[in-house]
Structure 1
């Protein structure tokens, strides 16, 4: 896709071009209730070219809409998780802003519907999302990781906060995530420094949940996914919805949400079976 072609393309043209691409840059495998979605363009460090991003959104939407899938593992083909926005595409987008048929509208639509669309799928889906960070996660790729429910990092993972180095601010929810996890001052410090945080440093800061040996990453992701699947499906789904909402709620609103949710948890057979199993275990002590 040349720069001149980009300036002539509308958002609809861009989507049609992505749909016409026959090479697959995103792989999906499913084992029982666990689906693994892998970004697979290692030559470009799994950067978000238009086609890869479009295919990622379609793949995620498909597994999100599959009733039997409970957990989604999002990862990349080595050596990177995702290098963020593809630099060639960024330059084409800038040219489109100045000279394109739609001006800023094409870029706005892409950022909102594709970049933002993927982040919303991850954060707002009832499915439990594990980001298995096998290497560097930068830019929008880092935002996708932060939108997940559990960040499992290989020892080779790096969180790359290089937004300022290319004249951008944190995007696609990254500002929201960093300031809530670190506070304003620390988040701003990392933004100014443009730090490339090691897996261990990311763990110290609370930006990832756990660090594991690189060759154990997917096994550990599978083990955590199995732990999630061992719980009643409804409680994981309901807890995700609640916890993502209450962070921005006053206490009195949060407790009302919990009061309405809790009676629902009493109704499935899985709850009664779990209570009886716990009673039996207590009697045997």
Structure 2
């Protein structure tokens, strides 16, 4: 594992793990960390050797959201950077997660608040440690949601619950998160990293071209009519039917063997 100050990156079995690495500050987001994370996500998307991505945090927190100490310090110095961070950092980071042409797993190892929670919501799958918590803290500091949370959260748990969590700024523990559909499963704290790696490795060994199309079709369907969704499905099936992975899957089914997907 190579250290890049505030961000750790490791590759294994086609999986790239990106770990936020400011544990003493609960992995809160400074300008440096946001820029490193955006660059790392962009690089992972372009690297054909990376077939799945895990996003997690070092220490007891996944990500506590914006580093308010840096934020306040810059505001007091009349630095306009905090007013640009949504457009320059948060929006591109969420777009990089959502548009990643391979599965993204958020391994939530502790507190996930504000933009940090929103990053998890943008992932394709969320697995959480038993000690994890989720908090939409924007209203508590006199702000509205950002980092795509207004779009992603209500699609995961519905408008009513999303509004409740955002307006009340109420903490959700792992058990409630599982019950309301915010996460896929709860894992013992000391097993989370290994479990996320195994799950991501399973994705990495799968038909990654199909995974990318599935993500595209789901995103299209979330904001389209039925006819538009049907057209998107038709186009995706036409493209995927011509892939080597589809041919391999059919051949493997007939031969009663395990398919060997190449992501082509």
Q: TM-score, normalised by structure 1?
A: 0.84
SS at match of 1:176: helix
Q: Distance in 1 between matches of 2:125 and 2:154?
A: 18
Q: The residue matched to 1:137 in structure 2 has which SS?
A: strand
Q: Distance in 1 between matches of 2:162 and 2:4?
A: 38
**Alpha-carbon distance between aligned partners in 2 of 1:264 and 1:182, rounded to the nearest angstrom:** 32
Partner residue of 1:13?
Answer: none
Higher Rg = 1
Counterparts of 1:181 and 1:63 in 2: how far apart (Å)?
A: 25
Pick the aligned partner of 1:139 from 103, 114, 117.
Answer: 114
Match of 2:260 in 1: none
Contact 2:71 2:82 in 1 (8 A): no
- The equivalent residue for 2:53 is 72
Corresponding residue to 2:22 among 41, 66, 69: 41
Q: Within 5 Å, which residues of 2 pair with 1:63-142?
A: 63-95=44-76, 99-100=78-79, 106-142=81-117
Q: Which secondary structure does the structure 2 equivalent of 1:37 belong to?
A: strand
Deviations 1:81-107 (A, max 9, x none): 0010001122134336xx44xx5xx43
* 1:169 matched residue in structure 2: 144
Q: Which secondary structure does the structure 1 equivalent of 2:146 belong to?
A: coil
Corresponding residue number in structure 1 for 2:212: 237
Equivalent residue in structure 1 for 2:191, among 208, 216, 226: 216
Task: Give 5+ residue unaligned stretches, structure 1.
Answer: 1-21
Q: 1:276 to 1:50 in 2, by over 3 A?
A: same
Tell me the distance in 2 between the aligned counterparts of 1:229 and 1:67: 11
Name 1:203's counterpart in structure 2.
178
What RMSD in Å do the two structures reach over aligned CA positions?
Answer: 1.9
Measure how far apart 1:80 and its partner are: 0.4
Give the counterpart of 2:238 among 248, 251, 263: 263
Corresponding position of 1:274: 249
Aligned pairs, number: 255
Query: Shift in Å at residue 279 of structure 1?
Result: 2.7
- For residue 204 of structure 1, report the CA deviation from its aligned partner: 0.6
> Relative to structure 2, which stretch is displaced further, 54-63 or 113-122?
54-63
TM-score by length of 2: 0.90
CA offsets 1:179-237 (integer angstroms, 9 cap, x no match)? 23333332222223211111111011111111111111111111211221232221111
Q: Secondary structure at the match of 1:60?
A: helix
* Bigger helix share: 1
Query: For residues 31 and 192 of structure 1, do their structure 2 counterparts lie closer, same or farther at Cα, with a shift above 3 Å needed?
Result: same
In structure 1, how many angstroms separate the alpha carbons of the residues matched to 2:23 and 2:100?
Answer: 27
